[in-house]
Amino acid sequence: MFKKLLVANRGEIAIRIMRSAQELGIRTVAIYEETDKTASHIMRADEAICIGTGPRKDYLDIDRIIHAAQSTRAEAIHPGYGFLAENPQFSKQCTEAGLVFIGPPPQVIIDMGSKVIARRIMEEAGLPSIPGTSVLEHGEQGEGAAAAFAEKHRFPIMVKAVAGGGGRGIRVAQNMEELRRFIAIGRSEAKMAFGNDQVYLEKGLTNPRHVEVQILADMHGQVVHLGTRNCSIQRRHQKMIEMAPAFLPDDLSNRICETAVRAARASNYLNAGTVEFLIDQDDNFYFLEVNTRIQVEHTVTEVITGIDIVREQIRVAAGEPLSIEQKDITFRGTAIELRITAEDPKNNFMPDPGVIELYQSPGGHGTRLDGAVYQGYEIPRYYDSMLSKLTVYGFTWNEAVDRLRRTLDSFLIAGVKTTIPYYKQIVNDPDFINRNFDTSYIETHPHLLDYQEELPPIDKLAKLVAEINAYGYNPYSGR
C-alpha cells in the first residue's frame, strides 16, 4: 500500500479522498493555487503545496502537479472529478513519471472519453445503444450526413461534443434549421470547453429516465456492479438530485446491471467508473456513456451498500484485489443526494460568490454531509459553485424524503444565495414525493421557483449568531 498520496483536486471531493486515504494509513498531500489559499481541503491534508498563482490554470497544469508529487515524495495521485480526472495525458504522464494514477489507464480514458468510439465498442459487444453518427465532418459532407440522419431518425436530435462531459456540449434540435445552427454553435463551444471542436449527432429520446450503474474492476479480472442510481432530475443535462436505487422493476434492474458489467469488460476497464443509460417510456434502455472517474453522486451508492468506493479505488491502484465479490454486495434502503451550490435559482442559477456570513449544517441519524466550506469562508468566483453535498438515508423512500425535508429545514447558509430554498420546494412537490419524474422534471415544474427567500437579512446575522451560541438552535427555524 502507498505511504503518501497527492490529491490533484480541491473542495469537497479532495477532502472525501483524503478521508479514505487516511483511514488506510496513507499520508495525504493537498495542492492549491494562491487564489484558493483559504480552501478547507488544504487544512485537512497532512501537508500542502502551492502550485501557482491561479486561478484554475495551475490545477490544470500536469507538469506542475507531477512536480508537486515528486517533491513531496508522493507515490500516487488521485484526480477526483473534473479538472484533469478524465485527461488521458495526465494518466500517461503520471505513469511515465513513476507515479500511480488512481483511475483507468490512458487508453480506456481515450476510448470512453470519445462518445463515438465508446458507442462503437459497445455496439460491437452487442450492447443496446442510441442511434448516432460518427464524427461530423466540416462543410457540405457533414451537412449531408446530418440531413440524412435527420431524415432517417426524425427529430428531436441531439448535437453532442465528442469530448464532452458533465452535461456540457449538448443541444437538442427540433427541426433542420435548429440542427444546422446547433452544429455550428456546438463546434465553437466544444472548442472552448474541451479544446476539441468535433461533434456528432444522436437520436433524442423524449423525456427519458437517466439511470447509471457504479462499477469496480481490479487487475485480477474481477468486475462488480454496485447497483443503480437515478439521476433524472437535471438542469440543462447537469444533475441536481441523485438517488439510489433507481426504483426499476427487478428484471430491468438486473439486465441494466449485467449490461454495465459487460460494458466494463468490453472496454478493458480498470478501477471505478460509471456506465450510464437512458430508459424510454417503454422501459427500453440504451447505453449512453462511461464516466472514467469517481462520480459526484457516488455517496448514495456508498450509503446503501456500505462500500467505500474511494477506498476500493486506492486498493485497486495498489494492485490489490477488490475486497468484495458480487455475491457479497447487498442493497438496503434508499439514499438521496442534493448538490448544494452557491447559485441563485431565481436568476437562471447564476453563481453567487461571496462571504458565508453564517453556516449551520444539519445532522442526525441517516445524514451525511460532504462539504468544503465554513463560516467566514469567501467563495472564490473562479471555481465550481458547489458548497457541499447533502446525502440522506431512509429505510424506505418516504422515510428518506421526510429526512431530507427535516435536514433542509435545519441547513442554513447566509451571505450568499444557494439552492437550499429551491430544494425545499422540490421535497414538498407531489410529483417528487411520488417519484414521478424524468429528465424533463425541472423544465415542467417552473412553479417550484416561486418561493420566498428564507434567509435573515445580513444586519441580523450578528444577533442570530449570538442566539445560536447561547441557545444551541436556530431561532429562525420555527422550532
- The pLDDT tens digits of the residues spanning 234-244 come to 998 889 999 99
Q: What is the mean pLDDT of residues 374-383?
A: 94
All three cell numbers of 35, joined, read 487564489
The answer to which of 58-72, 160-174, 229-243, 295-309 has the lowest mean pLDDT is 160-174
pLDDT at 465 over 80: no
What's the half-sphere exposure (Cβ side, CA atoms, 13 Å) at 113?
19
Q: What is the mean pLDDT of residues 19-45?
A: 97
- Quick: pLDDT tens for 114-148: 888 999 999 999 999 988 999 999 999 999 999 99
**Same CATH fold assignment for domains 4-102 and 131-203:** no
What pLDDT does residue 170 have? 87
Choices 3.30.470.20, 3.40.50.150, 3.30.750.210, 3.40.718.10: CATH for 209-458: 3.30.470.20
What pLDDT does residue 454 have? 62
Active site residues: 293
Let me know: does 287 contact 277? Beta carbons within 8 Å: yes
Residues 279, 132: Cα–Cα separation, whole Å: 16
- Quick: pLDDT tens for 199-233: 999 999 989 999 999 999 999 999 999 999 999 99
Q: Which of 166, 157, 159, 165 is nearest to 188 (CA)?
A: 159
pLDDT at 55 over 50: yes
Q: How many Cβ atoms from other residues are within 10 Å of residue 278's Cβ?
A: 20
pLDDT at 479 over 50: no
CATH number of 131-203: 3.30.1490.20
What pLDDT does residue 194 have? 81
pLDDT at 190 over 60: yes
- Quick: pLDDT tens for 396-418: 999 999 999 999 999 999 999 99
CATH class of the region 4-102: alpha beta
Q: What is the mean pLDDT of the chain?
A: 93
For the chain, the structural domain boundaries read 4-102, 131-203, 209-458
Per-residue confidence band for 478, with pLDDT thresholds at 50, 70 and 90? very low
The full 3-state SS of the chain, as one line of letters, equals: CCCEEEECCCHHHHHHHHHHHHHCCCEEEEEEEHHHCCCHHHHHCCEEEEEECCCCCHHHCHHHHHHHHHHCCCCEEECCCCCCCCCHHHHHHHHHCCCEECCCCHHHHHHHHCHHHHHHHHHHCCCCECCECCCCCCCHHHHHHHHHHHHHHCCCEEEEECCCCCCCCEEEECCHHHHHHHHHHHHHHHHHHHCCCCEEEEECCCCCEEEEEEEEECCCCCEEEEEEEEEEEEECCEEEEEEECCCCCHHHHHHHHHHHHHHHHHCCCCEEEEEEEEECCCCCEEEEEEECCCCCCHHHHHHHHCCCHHHHHHHHHCCCCCCCCHHHCCCCCEEEEEEEECEEHHHCCEECCCECCEEECCCCCCEEEEECCCCCCECCCCCCCEEEEEEEEECCHHHHHHHHHHHHHCCEEECCCCCHHHHHHHCCCHHHHCCCCCCCHHHHCHHHHCCCCCCCCHHHHHHHHHHHHHHCCCHHHCC
pLDDT at 460 over 80: no
Q: What percent of the chain has pLDDT over 90?
A: 87
Let me know: does 209 contact 438? Beta carbons within 8 Å: yes
